[in-house]
Amino acid sequence: MISILKYILLTLSLAILWAVLVFLGTKNGWWHQAIADEADSEAYIPAVKEKINAQFVGNFALATLENGSVEDELFHSEGNPVDRNTVFQVASLSKWISAFGVMKLVEEGKLDLDVPVSKYLSRWQLPASEFDNDGVTVRRLLSHTAGLTDGLGYSGFEPGLPTQAIEESLTKASDADEGISGSVQVGIEPGDAFKYSGGGYTLLQLLVEEVSGQSFASFMQERIFGPLNMNHSSYTWEDSSDFKLAEFYNSDGTEAMHYSYTSLAATSLYTSLNDLEVFFQVFLVGPDNAPIGRNVLKPETIEMMRVPHASTMGMDIWGLGTILYASNDNNDFIIGHDGKSTPPINTAVRLNPQTGDGIIVLETGNPLLATKLASEWVFWKTGKVDLTLFTMLKDSMVSSIAKGWLAILLLSIIIGVVRYRRRKVKIFT
């Protein structure tokens, strides 16, 4: 009996060791092949062109930056040509810039990061729940730790249809993605865990309007885009605009509709490659020692936004409106945000504050190309597997663990049967 227990413990130990080995190997990219030759500083753009040519991409704009300056730009379009000033709708990448506006009000003392948001709201309140709604704060909304369980996900409103009022959308978003309740409410204890919430950013949108006395779009235009000279950026789109809007495509190559949103802060930013290059540089000391934040936010506020506030599987993943993709060599993080919606819009930014290196990708017509290219850039540039690349490799990791466990189990059974038969032979000889 003791011998059997030892045998079982050895098998379990090998299974655990294999799982840990595969997890660490995936997390550290031991078996992942870089998109291009890591020793060739000019190899990334040709590799991207190969990826574009191998699949359907509607509109595409990419910039790589080195030491804060634009190094390369690349454009592709199936329809009207796009350039650095073409405006893209950027889906959830909007949240990163929206957080900038929220932190402006925090700096001015009009919002407190740790006061219940109910203090600031008169037009709508969170519905009563079994949890303490006073735990829902600006800090927790920004970091997706407020306990909201809406899971939004907005599909938007078709052309010609009116959008919901923001209060109605918070109560129940009629454009919620399929399978999502669309109701913004507290479903887990605030502060206990990370749970992504588009509705939390719609609530922040309302908060900005209540505190500033302006529409969210007007506030962002006046306090963020104007001072930063982001001249092709807005949270609303007028058909009469002189700006060129990138055409929308479905994955099959057909033209898609241009949806509008109530959830501006969460998903409706319109911006250009050039404007995001400007925003990128706000996180770095600029020419003539222009300060981080460019006098729109203080350098210490910018730094605060990438202090870890949420983690998963032992990895820090979120700051205040900022995704923490991977650690860098300065006890800091490669930061940014991604956006994804249907019909396919996919956008991504990665920024290393330590080096000033980074990448910006905007595209329509392909559901994950921007995210993949940005994450592959991180691995090519730094050798680190970032948060989204790890997520993309997770299925393969789980499969490898399962196959290893099966092999260990079968090997254990075979060895056990062989040893049992040998022992039985000895008994009878």
Confidence (pLDDT) at 1: 54
Residue indicated by tokens 């807005």: 234
Of the candidates 117, 76, 172, 149, the one whose C-alpha atom is nearest the C-alpha of residue 373 is 76
Q: Is residue 366 packed enough to be buried (19+ CB in 10 Å), middle (13-18) or exposed (0-12)?
A: buried
**Segment 55-81, tens digit of pLDDT:** 999 999 999 999 999 999 999 999 999
Which residues are within 8 A (CB) of 1 and not within 5 positions of it... i.e. 6 or more apart? Answer: none
Name the most confidently modeled range: 34-48, 345-359, 407-421. 345-359
Confidence (pLDDT) at 174: 96
Phi first, then psi: give them for residue 115, nearest 5 degrees: -95, 140
**Segment 160-171, tens digit of pLDDT:** 999 999 999 999
**CB 93, CB 349: distance < 8 Å:** yes
Q: Does residue 428 carry a pLDDT above 70?
A: no
Confidence (pLDDT) at 116: 98
d(CA 331, CA 349): 20
Q: Does residue 150 carry a pLDDT above 80?
A: yes
Chain mean pLDDT for the chain:
94
Structural domain spans, the chain:
2-31+394-427, 44-384
Q: Does residue 2 carry a pLDDT above 60?
A: no
Q: Does residue 83 carry a pLDDT above 60?
A: yes
Confidence (pLDDT) at 429: 59
**Segment 125-140, tens digit of pLDDT:** 999 999 999 999 999 9
Res. 427 pLDDT band, cuts 50 70 90: low
CATH no. of 44-384: 3.40.710.10
Confidence (pLDDT) at 246: 96
**Segment 247-264, tens digit of pLDDT:** 999 999 999 999 999 999
The pTM for the full model equals: 0.94
**Segment 197-239, tens digit of pLDDT:** 999 999 999 999 999 999 999 999 999 999 999 999 999 998 7
d(CA 285, CA 273): 20
Q: Does residue 334 carry a pLDDT above 80?
A: yes
Q: What is the mean pLDDT of residues 97-102?
A: 98
Q: What is the mean pLDDT of residues 85-104?
A: 98
For the chain, give the percent of residues with pLDDT over 70. Answer: 97
Confidence (pLDDT) at 426: 63
